Amino acid sequence: MDAKQELPNPRAGMAGVLDRFVGPGATQAELVLQFVLPLGAAGAAVAYSANAIGTWTTAQYIICAVLAFDIVGGIITNATSSGKRWYHRAGQGFLQHFGFVILHLGHLALVSWVFLGLDFSWLIVAGVYLMVAGLCILWSPLYLQRPIALLMYSGSVLLALYVLAPPPGMAWFLPLFYLKLLVAHLPKEEAYRPKAEANHGFNRTPASPVPAKPGESNGGVG
């Protein structure tokens, strides 16, 4: 991503609050993905836990729904073109990104407390892996960030499957939690924009490539 690209400024008022969350210039399709699908995920998570456990308190169901919405929404938001462009803009460096990772230790502490009876060993192992994996990604050369992120995420899946006990009724939590942070947020990647924005002048990121028609060359190798 070109560090010198021009970004649209966040709007005034409540619209600006949204812009600072999802990234200025977010398209309607991006907004639908970021808010509609997480609502479905929250409902599905509660329905599954109610069927699998059925003995939770009201507070546990609410926390489960909030976590599902936050994590699925975060995966999508951090992976969108507008989100990548915003969260990796000039001035957003190591401290900001590692701070974002550290902030999410609170998610692990909440799950350990509410769903695992404050399992400190689970919290420490999950938290240390998150920080080590985050550092490995952030300290990697830019061209290696994506493969390192995927490698670290693969390790987190193995950790969730074979080392850490899943929170009852929330086996989805750790795999999606690590996906949000290690794959969707941390790697700095090109932020392709809709073709319609190509002539608007407020960003210099490339428009999404147009697939070649059958029989035409797209200019690639091979």
Please indicate, yes or no, if residue 77 is contained in any of the structural domains.
yes
Q: Is residue 112 part of a domain?
A: yes
pLDDT score for 197: 78
- The answer to whether residue 79 sits within a structural domain is yes
Residue 145's closest CA among 97, 196, 108?
97
Could you report the per-residue pLDDT of 119-168, keeping only the tens digit for each? Answer: 999 999 999 999 999 999 999 999 999 999 999 999 999 999 999 999 99
> Exposed, middle or buried: residue 151 (CB in 10 Å: 0-12, 13-18, 19+)?
middle
Kindly state whether residue 64 falls inside one of the protein's structural domains.
Answer: yes
> Rounded to whole angstroms, how far apart are CA atoms 85 and 202?
12
In this structure, is residue 145 part of a structural domain?
yes
Residue 107, domain member (yes or no):
yes
Cβ-count burial 120-132 (b if 16+ within 10 Å, e if not): eebbeebbebbee
pLDDT value of position 193: 85
As for how many domains the chain has, the answer is: 1
Note down the domain range covering 164.
Answer: 24-190
Q: Is the pLDDT of residue 31 over 90?
A: yes
Could you count the other beta carbons within 10 Å of the beta carbon of residue 174? 23
Give the per-residue pLDDT at 196.
76
pLDDT on residue 222? 40
Residue 7 is assigned to a structural domain of this protein: no
Q: How confident is the model at residue 173 (pLDDT cuts 50, 70, 90)?
A: very high
% of the chain surpassing 90 pLDDT: 81
